[in-house]
Every structure is written in structure tokens, then in C-alpha cells.
């Protein structure tokens, strides 16, 4: 994440205040075609499917599709669960990132690799793993069930956990990068002035890395919103309780592709709005 924010700040500085526009145009013209061609192909490849969604959208039937109670139930649940999962990620992920960035302990690289594992793990594998640990017959889940009568699968909390599992690494990586970029001497200065370690973290470090936390939180939220594999494997699928938008889209596709397209549009719209609205604010400043 830190490398991306760094590279973003370079063209902004090179643009300069007033002659920015012509200079940027010249820069584009200088770009070798060998790079421009694959770049534009890449852009088309990523954007065309979304265009296809817009082209095939059943516009006339859209109001009817979108006002069905099931859609709002799924959307509401999706927004709630993604936000809750981001909350869980913040509470657990920021301290974890701090541990990785500011302390030295044996096996730290291994821990770091394990923390980022859900990024590359197929989500459905994550769902199976969660089920085996937190399910009714799972190592921890069995105890939760017998001692408290709590079963996490088939419950909204299960959705939140599944989403947090796949989304938290985004936050941890982002915050860890911000922490590594932040100068620890500020914290040391605060400590010499009599601040406790926690006060220094709260009053000095946190404001310093706030953009990094914000960027991580947005990424985690967006990832949680789109989560499918772990959710359907671990939390199941029941309208109003565990059926988030991606699950609703998948099932709609089985019978009624038009409804699936309509649902996809809503999810696309929400995701784009969040990324466009928050990305620049949080991610452009280092």
C-alpha cells in the first residue's frame, strides 16, 4: 500500500501548479506504444465486463426488480455485515499491524505471512476452515455450543466473521505500511516528554497513520461487501439472516438472470461510489 501511495504522489508533484495540463499531455504522447497498447487492453479487459452489465441491464423492469423486499433485505444485510466486519478488523487489525511493524520477535516473518494468507487463499477454503473450527462440531464451536448455546454458522455473526477473515489482511497490510513509513522518533519524543506508551500511540502514532488506517478500512469494507465463498460455506444462505448481496446474485443467476443483473448493478454502484468517494481522500496523502 505504501508503495502505491508513494508512486501516486510523484506525478502529482511533477505536474506542477499551472502548466500541469500541457505537460501531462506531452508525457502521454511520449509513452511508447508498446506500453500504451497493453495498458489500454488491460483497461478494456477490466472495464468491459462492467459495461456489459450496464448494456444487458433490464432497465424497464429495474424498478420492479429493485423494489422487491428481498433486494433491500440483502443489501441492508450486506452493508451491515461489511461495516461490522470492518469494525472487527479495526479493533483486531490495528494492534496486529502495530505488532508487526514496531516489534521484533522470533518468527515475525512467518506471522506476517500467515496474516496475509487469506489474501491469496480461495475464500471457500477459508469458509471450510472456519466451519471446522467454529462450526457446531468444530474445535471451538463445539464448546461455544455446549457452554453458551451459540452456533455461529447460519447466523449473521457468522457472516461478519467470514467477511472479517478475508477482509482483515487488507487493513493489516495497509496499516503496517503506514506504521513503517511513520517516523518512530515522534513516539520517542512523546515518551521523553512523559507520555505513556499507550498515550503516545493514541495521541501521536494514530493521527500520524490515520490515512493509512482509513485506506485499509475502505479496502477491507469493499472486500467484505463482495465476499461470497467463505460466507456461503460457513454462514449458509438464508434471506434476512445470512443472505448477502453476492449470495442473492448467485442464486438469482440460477433461475432469473435479469434479477441477477439488477442485483449486480446495485452492488456495483455501491462499490464504485465508496471507492471513488473515499479513495482519493484517504489514499492520496501518504
Partner 1 sequence: MTTTTRRLVVAAAAALALGLGATACGSDGGKTGADVAPTATGSASAAAPKLSGEVNVFAAASLTGTFTELGKKFETNYPGVKVKFNFGGSSALAQSINSGAPADVFAAASTSTMKTVSDAGGVNGTAANFVRNTLTIAVPKGNPKHVATLKDLTTPGVKVALCAKEVPCGAAAVTALKAAGVDLTPVTLEQDVKGALTKVELGEVDASLVYRTDVKADAAKIDGVDFPEAEKAVNDYPIAALAKAPNKDGAAAFVAYIQSAEAKQVLTAAGFQAP
Tell me whether residue 139 is exposed, middle or buried, using C-beta atoms within 10 angstroms of its C-beta: 0 to 12, 13 to 18, 19 or more. Answer: exposed
Q: CB of 208 within 8 A of CB of 182?
A: yes
Q: Report the C-alpha gap between 111 and 101 in whole angstroms.
A: 12
Inter-helix orientation angle 33-56/257-283, to 10° = 130
Phi, psi torsion values for 106, nearest 5 degrees: -60, 135
Instruction: State yes or no: residue 277 binds partner 1 (CB under 8 A).
Output: no
String of contacts with partner 1 for each residue 217-256, x by CB under 8 A: ---------------x---xxxx--xx------xxxxxx-
Segment lying near partner 1 (by CB under 8 A), choices 60-68, 84-92, 134-142, 178-186 = 134-142
Instruction: State yes or no: residue 109 binds partner 1 (CB under 8 A).
Output: no
String of contacts with partner 1 for each residue 144-183, x by CB under 8 A: -------x-xx-----------------------------
Please select the residue that binds partner 1; options are 21, 26, 30, 137, rule is CB under 8 A: 137
Task: Return the number of the residue (236 or 286) whose C-beta is nearest partner 1.
Answer: 236
String of contacts with partner 1 for each residue 50-89, x by CB under 8 A: ----------------------------------------
Task: Return the number of the residue (97 or 131) whose C-beta is nearest partner 1.
Answer: 131
Dihedral over alpha carbons 201, 204, 207, 213 (to 10 degrees): -30
Inter-helix orientation angle 206-225/69-102, to 10° = 140
DSSP for 187-231 reads HHHHHHTT--HHHHIIIIIHHHHHHHHHHHHHHHHHHHHT--HHI
Task: Return the number of the residue (59 or 238) whose C-beta is nearest partner 1.
Answer: 238
Please select the residue that binds partner 1; options are 6, 14, 27, 41, rule is CB under 8 A: 41
Q: Report the C-alpha gap between 227 and 239 in whole angstroms.
A: 16
Phi, psi torsion values for 103, nearest 5 degrees: -125, 155
Please select the residue that binds partner 1; options are 14, 31, 40, 113, rule is CB under 8 A: 40
Task: Return the number of the residue (218 or 259) whose C-beta is nearest partner 1.
Answer: 259
Binding positions for partner 1, rule: CB under 8 A: 37, 40-41, 44-45, 48, 131, 135-137, 151, 153-154, 232, 236-239, 242-243, 250-255, 257
Amino acid at each position: 500500500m505504501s508503495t502505491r501511495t508513494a508512486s501516486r504522489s510523484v506525478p502529482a508533484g511533477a505536474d506542477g501548479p499551472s502548466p500541469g495540463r500541457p505537460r501531462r499531455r506531452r508525457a502521454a504522447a511520449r509513452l511508447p506504444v508498446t506500453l500504451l497498447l497493453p495498458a489500454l487492453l488491460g483497461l478494456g479487459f477490466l472495464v468491459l465486463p462492467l459495461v456489459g452489465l450496464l448494456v444487458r441491464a433490464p432497465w424497464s423492469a429495474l424498478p420492479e426488480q429493485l423494489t422487491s423486499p428481498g433486494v433491500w433485505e440483502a443489501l441492508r444485510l450486506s452493508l451491515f455485515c461489511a461495516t461490522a466486519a470492518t469494525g472487527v478488523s479495526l479493533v483486531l487489525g490495528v494492534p496486529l499491524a502495530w505488532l508487526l511493524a514496531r516489534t521484533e520477535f522470533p518468527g515475525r516473518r512467518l506471522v506476517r505471512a500467515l496474516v496475509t494468507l487469506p489474501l491469496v487463499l480461495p475464500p471457500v477454503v477459508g469458509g471450510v476452515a472456519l466451519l471446522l473450527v467454529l462450526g457446531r462440531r468444530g474445535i471451538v464451536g463445539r464448546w461455544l455450543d455446549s457452554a453458551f448455546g451459540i452456533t455461529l454458522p447460519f447466523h449473521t455473526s457468522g457472516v461478519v466473521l467470514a467477511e472479517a477473515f478475508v477482509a482483515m489482511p487488507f487493513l493489516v497490510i495497509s496499516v503496517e505500511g503506514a506504521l513503517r513509513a511513520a517516523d518512530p522518533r515522534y513516539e520517542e519524543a512523546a515518551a521523553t516528554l512523559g507520555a505513556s506508551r499507550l498515550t503516545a500511540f493514541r495521541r501521536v502514532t494514530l493521527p500520524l497513520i490515520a490515512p493509512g488506517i482509513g485506506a485499509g478500512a475502505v479496502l477491507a469494507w469493499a472486500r467484505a461487501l463482495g465476499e461470497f465463498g467463505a460466507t456461503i460455506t460457513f454462514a449458509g444462505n438464508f434471506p434476512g439472516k445470512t443472505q448477502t448481496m453476492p449470495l442473492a446474485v448467485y442464486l438469482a443467476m440460477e433461475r432469473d438472470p435479469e434479477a441477477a443483473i439488477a442485483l449486480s448493478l446495485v452492488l456495483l454502484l455501491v462499490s464504485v461510489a465508496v471507492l471513488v468517494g473515499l479513495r482519493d481522500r484517504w489514499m492520496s496523502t501518504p
